[in-house]
Each structure stands twice: as structure tokens, then as C-alpha cells.
Amino acid sequence: MPEPQPTASAGDDAFTPYAAGLRILLEGARAATGQSPKETIWSRNKARVYHYIPVGARRFRVPILLVYSLINRPYILDLMPGNSLVEYLVGQGFDVYLLDWGVPGDEDAYLALDHYVLDYLPSAIRRVLRRSGATELTLFGYCMGGTMAAMYAALFPDPPLK
């Protein structure tokens, strides 16, 4: 007895789970990221410091400044509702800020790492402290932002860092 041959519709059904992935590869992902409510409290050139709007009472006095990479996009820390470090921290009662360096272009070629660590980062930290009313903060670096945060902390080990 011959084995049954798959029909065209059965073969099509076998590839249905891959259709969405193929569409994303061809057209690009269209996920709505970075949805946590925020306001810009500081800017210099392309760099911005965002303050995330609290959803309840602030439980912790020491604010957190998230420092992201120069190259990647910081919405990785605020992907989408239910999958967001920012959303989680704000929901736990932390006062959360994020330093977004912006998208670098040819006009930024003169900027060296020391500009970011010795100029931009201290200015952003001062603004966060002023805004939060705190005397110290937690500096949380991610990716290359972790390297820059560590450089800053090594150069300026005294408070206001916690």
C-alpha cells in the first residue's frame, strides 16, 4: 500500500509558524518599545536624560541612573509592558532615570570617550541629583554604558554614588 502524500494545504500548514518570522526578517520588526511614561529632564546635543513617571509611592530615596551604550538603543531596558526593567523598577518604588546618548552621526566624530565620561555623565548626574532631591545615586551601566559608569566611579569614588 503506498504511503499517503502530503497535500498542498498540509504542506502550507507546516510552514505557517515560520510565516511571522519571515515577515519580520523581510519587513523589520514593528514592536512598540519604550512605552513607560517618561519626561526629558536634561539634554546636551543628542544626549537626553529621561525621568520615568512614578506609578505609586517612591519607596527608595536613592535614585537609579541607567547608563546605556553609545551604539545600541536604550529601549532594550524598556522593551514592552511586562518585559521591561524600567517598568519593574518604577513599579517597585524606585526613582528611575535613563541616560540616552542619542544616535551618533558624522558630526559627533570629534567626541571621544573622555567627553562622555568627564563632561556628559557628570552633568547628567548633577541634574538627576537636583531633580530627585537626593544626595547620592545608584549608577547602573549596561553594555558599554557599564564601562563608562565604571570609569566614572573609578575617577570619582566618593559619594554621590551609592
Which residue carries 503506498 as its cell?
2
CB 116 within 8 A of CB 101: yes
* Residue 78 among the catalytic residues: no
Q: Which of 127, 128, 121, 33 is nearest to 72 (CA)?
A: 33
CB 70 within 8 A of CB 121: no
Q: Which of 143, 144, 151, 161 is catalytic?
A: 143
Enzyme catalytic residues: 143
